[in-house]
């Protein structure tokens, strides 16, 4: 049983989400995964490439990448240096190429080249952590197992008073009991869209924010 102060804190945060979630949905009806993909494998590769790289840059790179590599077998077979050249502009290309090749080899060996759709199976793949698995499960399979926590979700969750943590796993644990499960994948997209448009890292546009009334940071900026 939750201790009363903790239970009350969760209740307050859940009530805040209940108010701001419809506002975000109305404001960003187009909110969706920003990584272009047509299959679970494409999304898995794109998500690995998105580490420390913008989604826009990843989408530029994957236009040609997805035409060249049609399946897991192709990624597993390509020489390391060739894949590095193909993804170089995404940054950290040596580690990313190594991860993609190892991930693909695991898919071929253990799953017949198909992307599995459970958290345990995905995170057992080389180069695939919980964040990447959440992206693939929520967006490629429509399975909400957890909440994807990236830099935007981290920043906005803190500013909205939904968590005090900086660690992605702990932030996810704070969000899971207060965000409706059916909206877990969408929640991340909504915060990402709002983070890019309004709640920017260096200079948030609090005066233009539709969440200002329910945001601790926004309330402090009122004159």
Q: What is the DSSP letter of 70?
A: -
Q: Does residue 150 have an active-site annotation?
A: yes
Length of the chain measured in residues: 223
The active-site residue, picked from 36, 55, 150, 183, is 150
Q: Degrees (nearest 5) of the Cα angle 181, 10, 214? A: 90
User: Which token pair is 206?
Assistant: 């609090």
The active-site residue, picked from 86, 96, 131, 174, is 131
User: Which token pair is 200?
Assistant: 């920017």
Rounded CA separation 149/132 (Å): 10
Rounded CA separation 34/148 (Å): 13
Q: Report helix, strand or coil for 37.
A: coil
Rounded CA separation 154/38 (Å): 27
CB 19 within 8 A of CB 122: no
Q: Does residue 167 have an active-site annotation?
A: no
In terms of DSSP H, where are the helices of the chain? 4-27, 40-49, 55-68, 72-77, 80-87, 93-111, 119-123, 130-140, 151-159, 168-175, 184-197, 216-220
Annotated catalytic sites, by residue?
Answer: 131, 150
């Amino acid at each position: 049983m939750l201790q009363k102060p903790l239970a009350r804190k969760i209740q307050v945060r859940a009530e805040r989400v209940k108010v701001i979630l419809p506002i975000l949905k109305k404001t960003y009806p187009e909110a969706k995964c920003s990584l272009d993909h047509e299959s679970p494998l494409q999304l898995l590769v794109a998500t690995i490439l998105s580490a420390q790289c913008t989604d826009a840059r990843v989408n530029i790179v994957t236009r040609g990448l997805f035409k060249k590599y049609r399946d897991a077998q192709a990624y597993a077979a390509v020489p390391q240096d060739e894949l590095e050249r193909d993804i170089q502009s995404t940054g950290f290309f040596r580690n990313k190429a190594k991860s993609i090749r190892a991930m693909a080899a695991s898919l071929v060996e253990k799953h017949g080249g198909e992307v599995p759709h459970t958290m345990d199976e995905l995170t057992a793949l080389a180069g695939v952590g919980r964040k990447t698995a959440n992206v693939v499960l929520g967006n490629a399979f429509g399975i909400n197992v957890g909440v994807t926590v990236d830099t935007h979700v981290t920043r906005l969750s803190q500013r909205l008073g939904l968590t005090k943590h900086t660690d992605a796993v702990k932030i996810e644990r704070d969000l899971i009991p207060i965000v409706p499960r059916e909206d877990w994948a969408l929640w991340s997209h909504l915060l990402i869209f709002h983070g890019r448009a309004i709640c920017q890292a260096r200079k948030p546009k609090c005066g233009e924010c539709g969440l200002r009334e329910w945001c601790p940071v926004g309330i402090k900026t009122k004159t």
